[in-house]
Amino acid sequence: MENYKKSLKIIFAGTPYFAAYHLKKIISSHHTVLGVLTQPDRPNKRGNIIIPSPVKIIAQKNNIPIFQPKNIKNKKNHLDLLSINADIMIVVAYGLLLPKFILNKFSMGCINIHASLLPRWRGAAPIQYAILNGDKKTGISIIQMEEKLDSGNILYQKSCKISKKETTISLTKKLYKIGSKSILKILKKIIEKKIIQKKQNEKKITYAKKISKIMGKINFNINAKKIERMIRAFNPWPGTYIIIKNYRIKIHAAKILKNNKKYHIGEIIKINKFGIQIQTKKDILNIIKIQIPGKKIIKICEFIKNKNHIFNIHQII
């Protein structure tokens, strides 16, 4: 019982809200966060306001020292961080590979909370790729960090189901709740020296490369099933879209309709209150929520009431 009450001195590294949720959980525990490493402040989407990361905001609220090096590989940029006498570093979606001199600094090492069941979906976008590929389950992995990307021994894993309507937003929420509970369990085991490490199966490695904006453009020359997954996987960013009559139309929700008739790929087959039906390589994509530039997300049943002529029957997209 005495071991469990022991407070670890922690350096936390992370950047997005997924990481911030974990940081809040650790701060609320009996452990002590001595410093936070997060990426430099960035411009917002419009580029006119510089905003701090969600992790930085939490650190500021709790008066925790913040480190935001512009060059993570330069040891001179980390002298203050390296002078802190912490036991362990916890890394959650920091966004950059940490150099060896940081990984070797802490007596209990560096551990990483990764949003997949490693070795599946190593890399920057494991949540999106799990949805894109139609995975039935995913989870979180806590690993001992090494220099190579997401390659360390597994300390703990916890799985969860991926529903048929799952988006990146909803799955992210599931996983940060699981991860934030799991990290406290693992810290307890580390203190008690009850950790059993497991090597990753090199034969089962898959990679989730970084998502780019261009990946959100819909190509109807693929199956409706794959496009529908794209819409859910790229929600909220980068979003999926089509370009029609010089409008960049974002697609926020769609369903798959089975079809045996032959239409041209990309042809608008039907427009009614239930959706805009477009032929794909296989089956029909029925679009039910869209967003016109500068407007709010709208259901198709509301869109057609405005008698908007952006979409026309038999039009090829």
The pair phi, psi for residue 25, each rounded to 5°, is: -65, -40
* N-to-C CA span, the chain: 65
The verdict on residue 315 lying in a domain is no
117 and 33 housed in the same domain = yes
* Range(s) of the domain holding residue 61: 2-208
- The pLDDT score that the predictor gives to residue 47 is 66
Mean pLDDT, 10 residues at a time, the chain of 317 residues: 74 98 98 98 82 97 96 90 96 96 96 98 98 98 97 98 97 98 97 96 97 96 98 97 94 95 94 96 97 94 85 94
CATH code of the domain containing 24: 3.40.50.170
57 and 23 housed in the same domain = yes
The verdict on residue 314 lying in a domain is no
Rounded Cα distance between 84 and 3, Å, is: 23
Write the CA distances from 111 to 21, 62, 187, 286, integer angstroms.
17, 22, 10, 44
Domain boundary pick from 168, 189, 208: 208
Rounded Cα distance between 231 and 299, Å, is: 15
192 and 160 housed in the same domain = yes
Radius of gyration of the chain (CA): 23
Kindly state the DSSP code that residue 306 receives in the 8-state scheme: G
Find out whether 69 is annotated in a ligand binding site.
no
- The pLDDT score that the predictor gives to residue 295 is 93
Rounded Cα distance between 56 and 12, Å, is: 11
- The pLDDT score that the predictor gives to residue 262 is 82
- The pLDDT score that the predictor gives to residue 196 is 95
If one counts the domains in the chain, the total is 2
172 and 232 housed in the same domain = no
Neighbouring CB atoms inside 10 A of 31's CB total 20
The verdict on residue 313 lying in a domain is no
**Residue 165 structure tokens:** 């309507």
The verdict on residue 316 lying in a domain is no
- The pLDDT score that the predictor gives to residue 2 is 46
Domain boundary pick from 160, 188, 208: 208
Q: Which residues contact 4 (CB under 8 A, 6 or more apart)?
A: 188, 191, 192
Find out whether 182 is annotated in a ligand binding site.
no
172 and 262 housed in the same domain = no
- The pLDDT score that the predictor gives to residue 64 is 98
Domain boundary pick from 208, 227, 243: 208
**Residue 39 structure tokens:** 């990426």
Helix pair 168-192, 17-27: axis angle to 10 deg: 40
Kindly state the DSSP code that residue 95 receives in the 8-state scheme: S
Q: Which amino acid is at 181?
A: K
**Residue 139 structure tokens:** 């989870």
